[in-house]
């Protein structure tokens, strides 16, 4: 789907704040609210917009560690990727999981309460599975920019 300048403007506004009403967006892009709604619905139907999400602040007592794990699978096959995906997809610590190109096969974003929980995750979901050849983990010290949808 080709996006024109107004579609790009609408996407930029919704990336910054997915809670904006069609009316608020329409005022900023100089279109009617119904025209904005039609464009958004078209972008959803064509797969340009995949969804919207709420960014939740970490509260006292919640998972303070954000970790990024690059994992190289032991076997390069669709079946191995699917087995790994099923193993980690519903784990509450897994915030995001991506199949990636480069030195690793998978990138996981994890939120865990402490290093002991991370160690348990490694033992039960990585080492015990024999699906991962090697992995590397990076700890986020702080966020440098707000998370953007999309």
pLDDT band at 7 (very low <50, low <70, confident <90, very high): very high
Residue 150's pLDDT is what? 46
User: Could you report the per-residue pLDDT of 51-63, keeping only the tens digit for each?
Assistant: 887 665 555 555 5
Same domain for 76 and 126, yes or no, is yes
- Structurally, the chain folds into a number of domains equal to 2
Q: Does residue 121 belong to any structural domain of this protein?
A: yes
On whether both 38 and 99 belong to a single domain, the answer is no
The span from the CA of 19 to the CA of 75, in Å, is: 42
Whether 70 and 106 have beta carbons less than 8 Å apart is answered as yes
Average pLDDT over residues 1-26: 91
Integer-rounded Cα radius of gyration of the chain: 19
Has residue 89 been placed in a domain? yes
What are the tokens at 76? 């390069």
Same-domain status, 29 and 93: no
Domain hosting 16: range is 5-45
How many CB atoms within 10 Å of residue 132? 21
- Phi and psi based region of residue 135 (left: phi greater than 0; alpha: psi -120 to 50; beta: remaining): beta
């Amino acid at each position: 789907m080709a996006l024109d300048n107004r579609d790009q403007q609408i996407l930029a506004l919704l990336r910054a704040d997915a809670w904006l009403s069609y009316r608020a967006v329409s005022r900023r892009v100089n279109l009617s609210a119904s025209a904005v709604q039609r464009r958004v619905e078209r972008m959803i139907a064509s797969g340009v917009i995949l969804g919207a999400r709420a960014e939740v602040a970490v509260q006292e007592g919640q998972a303070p560690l954000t970790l990024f794990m690059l994992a190289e699978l032991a076997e390069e096959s669709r079946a191995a990727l699917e087995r790994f995906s099923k193993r980690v997809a519903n784990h509450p610590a897994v915030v995001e999981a991506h199949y990636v190109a480069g030195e690793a096969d998978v990138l996981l974003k994890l939120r865990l309460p402490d290093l002991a929980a991370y160690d348990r995750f490694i033992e039960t979901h990585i080492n015990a599975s024999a699906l991962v050849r090697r992995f590397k983990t990076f700890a986020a010290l702080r966020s440098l920019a707000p998370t953007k949808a999309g």
